[in-house]
Chains A and B, each alone.
Chain A
Amino acid sequence: VMAGVARRLLLCRGLSVTAGPPSTRQLREAEEAAPVFQYAGKAARRKDRVFVWGFSYSGALGVPSFVRPDAGWKKPRRIQPTPYRLETDEKIASAACGYGFTLLASKTRDITKVWGMGLNKDSQLGFQRTRRDQSKGYEYVLEPSPIPLPLEKPQQTRVLQVSCGRAHSLVLTDSEGVFTMGNNSYGQCGRKVVEDEIYSGSHLIHQLNEFDSRVVQVVCGQDHSLFRTKKGTVYACGWGADGQTGLGHYNITSVPTKLHGDIAGVNIIQVSSYGDCCLAVSDEGDVFGWGNSEYLQLASVTETTQVNVPRHLPFKIGKVKEAACGGTGNIVLTEEGNVFVWGYGILGKGPNLTETAVPEMIPPSLFGWSDFSPDIRVAHVRCGLSQFAALTNRGELFVWGKNLRGCLGTGRMEDQYFPWRVTVPGEVVDVACGVDHMVSMVRSFT
């Protein structure tokens, strides 16, 4: 009995657990007992964001701390060379970049539907009341500020699209027609030209409703406006010295008038303009052009440098889906997903191609197409004054052209002679190009 007790005492002496490397079983148990963290639940939705880049001193980027730093250590940032996130209150459905200003629009039913930032010397952003003096308006708006629209039913009407030109802007609604504001010295706002009118600090926002059917697209050129209706007709008003109104004369038009010429009776599905040249695409895939042709934009049909009646451009490149016009160059996208450029300037095929009257195709391998990923296609094309942008179906943004004040967003200040990817932390849904800045609507990845 004594020996048994002594043995049990010996066995009990090892009460303390020997320290040492944890055994596999201990590791496995510790792992199973560890807490599980959840970062995203089943209802996690992708977020919609807005990214801006380019020249910021005009206030067009909507970030006040770039122009007036709010902390001592911050320095004013003249150029934002890479995409910068802009915080917005609502989901932005449509954006447009003008010459030094930006408009953002949301499809909400709230009272505030459109925000504007940038230059406001011609009231292209409406009347922005100053804090100090109720009767004066701001000339530079540094932050996205709501634009009060004189809507009849502000809680039912939705804003579908916005467009900006050199010093005027157009807002398209679903049931109350088109609202125009800004400079009207050439009648581009669709109302009669008033001599010596002062546009700065003006409260006037004009409403246009007299079209043959509902307007579905509004486009601003430099000093003219184009309206496309549901029936496929195109109306124009504004400056016509280059024939960009397409009405058969070179005078100013102050009331939106229907275009004829080669597009009479044709169902137009898209119109585009940014400088003094205009392009229209019909439902059958044909391209029509009118306006300035000094840079060979319309040289395929005529030798004259101004065309004031829409002319059919007989290109044999396939059925065209979308077209975009820049200041000196044009770009179209066909149904097969091929991109064609023509005109003058940096067209995207290297430094040697500076001008062509006939569309040249940009090889799809520059947009990421390869044997490894054969289903990449270009989905949209956009044009700024001297830049081009292309969006692929994978949500990648490619830019090329003159890098004016960092507007390409590549992070470098040099011009880009062939399509280059812009690194955006998200899938790019749409992009708006201006003269020296760009705005993109992006959805986050997860």
Chain B
Amino acid sequence: LNAAPGRAPRQRVRFLPAPAPGGGGAVELVAARVPVLADHPLVRGPRFRKLKIGAGHRLDVKASGVFVLGIGRGNKLLTDLYNCHLAKVYTVGGLFGKATDDFSDTGNLVEKTTFDHITREKLERILAVIQGTNQKALLMYSNIDMKTQEAYELAVKGLIRPMGKSPPIITAVRCLQFALPEFQLEIHCLNETQQYLRKMVHEIGLELKSSAVCTQVRRIRDGVFTVDDALPRTQWNLQSIREAIQNCQLRVETELEKTLG
């Protein structure tokens, strides 16, 4: 970053002595644009000595996926994006037949159960109920007076969203794959933690009269950033980071304008 061409030095008008056109020792002051000495690279030193990097929504150790970071002035955008309360999308993988103490497959075993009575239809019914109860929570925590016409208009468009503090709310769930004993869900949620999603997998197992553990939690979308924009380990270099920032800039600005005005 420091090797890249920096800001051009400021120019200043100085009156410098120059030999007079008449000749013979007389000195005349001539105005000339001179670079300021204080801006000289040897005086200023390297432009970047440290970078401020801020993290977006948390992602814990056992999960993977999109992790948003802000650099320098982007940290202010991070707070604005947090206040937008946009939904995040996860793919959660689960396994029937086991129950552990920390709800993931690496924890201590608590119980083993049978699971051959579970069908895709039963799982989808449970998911529909989870979605329904969370829809209610969505409307309740959004702090809108239900008796107004405005609340009705927003509910029709589906734009009601809690814009302040709220418990984790799941806006949509759907089953992507189902092959006993494994299954995979796509979850859209707000204000959640990954451990809450693992607990949800455990509760789905209980509801189906069996038990389940979570094998994988992967965030595939965080607000406007998707997996396609995210940089894998091999691309953590300056060039890719600059391109990624430029690609996302426009989208972030439009989203902020739309939500926060």
Contact = CB atoms under 8 A, between A and B. Distances in A.
B155 A396 contact: no
Contacts, number: 98
Contacts of B148: 350-351
Nearest to B129: A445
B142 interface: no
A417 B135 contact: no
Interface stretch (B202-210, B215-223, B245-253): B202-210
B130 to A, nearest CB: 11
Q: State the 9 A-B residue pairs at the shortest beta-carbon distance, nearest first.
A: A350-B152, A40-B209, A39-B209, A350-B149, A38-B114, A36-B112, A372-B172, A363-B156, A352-B149
Contact of B152 (A42, A368, A417, A421): A417
Given A351-B147, A365-B157, A396-B128, A39 B210 contact: yes
A446 B122 CA distance: 6
A186 to B, nearest CB: 38
A365 B139 CA distance: 14
A370 B158 contact: yes
Contacts of B149: 350-352
A34 B128 contact: no
B141 to A, nearest CB: 14
A40 B210 contact: yes
Contact of A366 (B132, B156, B188): B156
Interface centre among A350, A370, A414 (most CB of B within 10 A): A350
Interface in B113-145: 113-114, 116-117, 122, 125-126, 128-129, 131-133, 135-136, 139
Q: How large is the interface on B (under 10, 10 to 19, 20 to 34, 35 or more residues)?
A: 35 or more
A157 B204 CA distance: 43
B111 interface: yes
Interface in B151-177: 151-153, 155-158, 172, 174
A351 B133 CA distance: 24
Given A394-B128, A423-B132, A446 B152 contact: no
Given A351-B147, A395-B128, 9 more contacts: A39-B210, A40-B210, A350-B148, A395-B125, A414-B147, A427-B125, A445-B122, A445-B125, A446-B208
Interface in B98-118: 109, 111-114, 116-117
A120 interface: no
Contact of A416 (B146, B157, B174): B146
A36 B132 CA distance: 33
Contact of A446 (B132, B135, B139, B207): B207
Contacts of A351: 147-149, 152
Interface in A346-368: 349-352, 363, 365-366, 368
A372 B109 contact: no
A31 interface: yes
Given A363-B156, A423-B136, A446-B122, A35 B112 contact: yes
A34 B122 CA distance: 27
Contacts of A416: 146
Interface string A246-258: 0000000000000
B240 to A, nearest CB: 33
A44 interface: yes
Contacts of B139: 420
A39 B129 CA distance: 21
Given A37-B111, A37-B114, A372-B172, A445 B207 contact: yes
A41 interface: yes
9 contacts: A31-B109, A40-B117, A350-B149, A350-B153, A351-B152, A368-B135, A373-B172, A421-B136, A446-B208
